[in-house]
């Protein structure tokens, strides 16, 4: 299982600002997912990226998958207080014999201040 | 949609007691369920993977006698924390997969269960 590095670990910004968080690995991702988790709740899937160079947009969120599929970024435009949460990237991998699992990075804790 | 429900959402128990957490897929059959543990301000760490009707596969460092997992049906998996101690206090989250998940990579998460051991 490869190690997923997320940066920054913590980010505090003013409402209306833009931000980017990153997810990196030394190995090629098979497929990468981004989640947002609010305190006391389970993570909620935002997007899955599979193809190198892929860009997906979800309202003010833009997800990019690196050409080499070793890194991904999440850019939020004009952040709102409702964007506050823990942003997690996760790799979905098959571990043989029909089994699979999801491995999470350590996350970026985002706080958007009004 | 695919809804996964955990119960209880919060539980407080005394040291030495056992606690059972349930994870149910409400509107689909979950071929595989995963149990994660999350400490404050940290990420989700996979504890074990369970397939219906078979023994769970535990991740390295997770005590199988401490964290008993039962996946008796396609809609229910349970995690029992035996002889709980304060260091077992954590947020436990389950996720469930459908038969198509091996292709889609889509897992469905429960709301989590906060365990506090006094």
Rounded to the nearest 10 degrees, how much is the dihedral formed by the CA atoms of B21, B26, B29, B32? -30
Mutation site, A33, A35, A101, interface B, largest B CB count within 10 A: A101
Task: Please compute, for residue A67, the number of CA atoms within 13 A of its CA located in the half-sphere on the CB side.
Answer: 0
Mutation site, A12, A43, A93, interface B, largest B CB count within 10 A: A43
Task: Name B57's Cβ contacts closer than 8 Å, sequence gap at least 6.
Answer: A99, B48, B49, B50
Instruction: Tell me if B43 and A88 make a contact (CB, 8 A cut-off).
Output: yes
Q: What's the rounded Cα separation, in Å, for the pair A37 and A34?
A: 10
Phi, psi (deg, nearest 5) at residue A81 = -60, -30
Using the predicted structure, report yes or no on whether residue A101 has a pLDDT greater than 60.
yes
Residue A8, preceding peptide bond in cis (omega within 30° of 0): yes
Instruction: Tell me if B109 and A98 make a contact (CB, 8 A cut-off).
Output: no
Q: What's the rounded Cα separation, in Å, for the pair B86 and B32?
A: 29
Q: pLDDT (tens digit, 9 = 90+) per residue, B19-40?
A: 999 999 999 999 899 999 999 8
CA–CA min distance A5, chain B (Å): 11
Whole-number pLDDT of residue A1:
52
Q: What's the rounded Cα separation, in Å, for the pair B47 and B56?
A: 10
CA–CA min distance B76, chain A (Å): 17
- Paired residues of B86 in beta bridges: none
Q: pLDDT (tens digit, 9 = 90+) per residue, B68-96?
A: 999 889 999 999 999 999 999 999 999 99
Q: How many CB pairs under 8 A join A and B?
A: 57
């Amino acid at each position: 299982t490869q190690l997923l590095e997320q940066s920054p670990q913590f980010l505090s910004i003013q409402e209306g600002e833009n931000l980017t968080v990153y997810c990196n690995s030394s190995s090629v991702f098979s497929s990468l997912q981004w989640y947002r988790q609010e305190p006391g709740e389970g993570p909620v899937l935002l997007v899955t990226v599979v193809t190198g160079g892929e860009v997906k947009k979800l309202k003010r969120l833009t997800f990019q998958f690196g050409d080499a599929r070793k890194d991904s970024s999440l850019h939020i435009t004009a952040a709102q207080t409702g964007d506050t949460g823990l942003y997690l990237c996760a790799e979905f991998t098959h571990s043989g014999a029909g089994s699979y699992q999801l491995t999470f990075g350590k996350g970026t804790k985002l706080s958007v201040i009004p | 949609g695919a809804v996964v429900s955990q119960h209880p959402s919060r539980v407080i128990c005394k040291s030495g007691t056992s606690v059972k957490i349930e994870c149910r897929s409400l509107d689909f059959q979950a071929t595989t369920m995963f149990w994660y543990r999350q400490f404050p301000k940290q990420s989700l760490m996979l504890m074990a993977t369970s397939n219906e009707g078979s023994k769970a596969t535990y991740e390295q460092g997770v005590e199988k006698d401490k964290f008993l997992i039962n996946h008796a049906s396609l809609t229910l998996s349970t995690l029992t924390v035996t002889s709980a101690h304060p260091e077992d206090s954590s947020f436990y989250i389950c996720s469930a997969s459908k038969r198509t998940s091996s292709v889609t990579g889509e897992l469905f998460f429960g709301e989590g269960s906060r365990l506090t051991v006094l």
